[in-house]
Structure formats: C-alpha cells, structure tokens
Amino acid sequence: MVKFNCSSKSAITSFKVMLKIRKNIAISDSGFVFDPMSGESFSLNPIGLEIIQLIKNGNNFKEITKVILDKYQVDEETLDRYFYDFISTLKQFNLLESTSHG
C-alpha cells in the first residue's frame, strides 16, 4: 500500500489539497465501484462509501473528519491513520484526483 509522506499528509490536513473522485468512476449506493478505463471493480464498506460520498459532495478533510467523528465511535488519531490509508488506496487504484489550492 502506498503511504503518504509527511508533506502530503500535512497538505491534506492544512486543506490545501482538494480531494476529487475521477468523473468517470461509477459508484453505486451499495458501495460497488467501477472504473471503466481499467475495467476494474471494487467494493466499499459502509464507512468507505460514506467518505467517497462526502468527497464527491466537495467536503474537505476537516469536514469529513467532523462527520465521521460525530457519527462513529472512533478517536481522531485512529481516524486520521485510516483516512490516509484509504486515500492512499484510492490514489493507488487511480480513482482519486487531487488538485492543489494555494
């Protein structure tokens, strides 16, 4: 699994990176993800699906973190670790674009 280096992690937490799901990625309400360019498909668990939906709705890291912390029994450190791993996985499978905003 691809890990974030310190500069990537700090860029996300400082909200200078806008997370964006590629436009051609199909995501069902049940968490089935299909990439028509590669032909690959993936399944998301309910929390992964919720994070994807929050990203698609334009939420930033801080907003996503607040939603998940308010809804689920998880501490912020654990959420941060899993969030970065999840985002790394999305990038690894070319499902996510990220654009920097100064």
Cα–Cα distance, 15 to 67 (Å, whole number): 16
* 20-48 confidence digits (pLDDT tens): 999 999 999 999 999 999 999 999 999 99
80: Cβ contacts below 8 Å, ≥ 6 apart? 13, 65
Tokens for 32? 């089935």
Query: What are the beta bridge partners of residue 27?
Result: 33
Domain regions of the chain by residue span? 6-100
The identity of residue 66, as a single letter, is K
In this prediction, the residues of the chain whose per-residue pLDDT falls under 50 are 1-8, 10-16, 102
The identity of residue 94, as a single letter, is N
6-100 folds as Outer Surface Protein A; domain 3 (3.90.930)
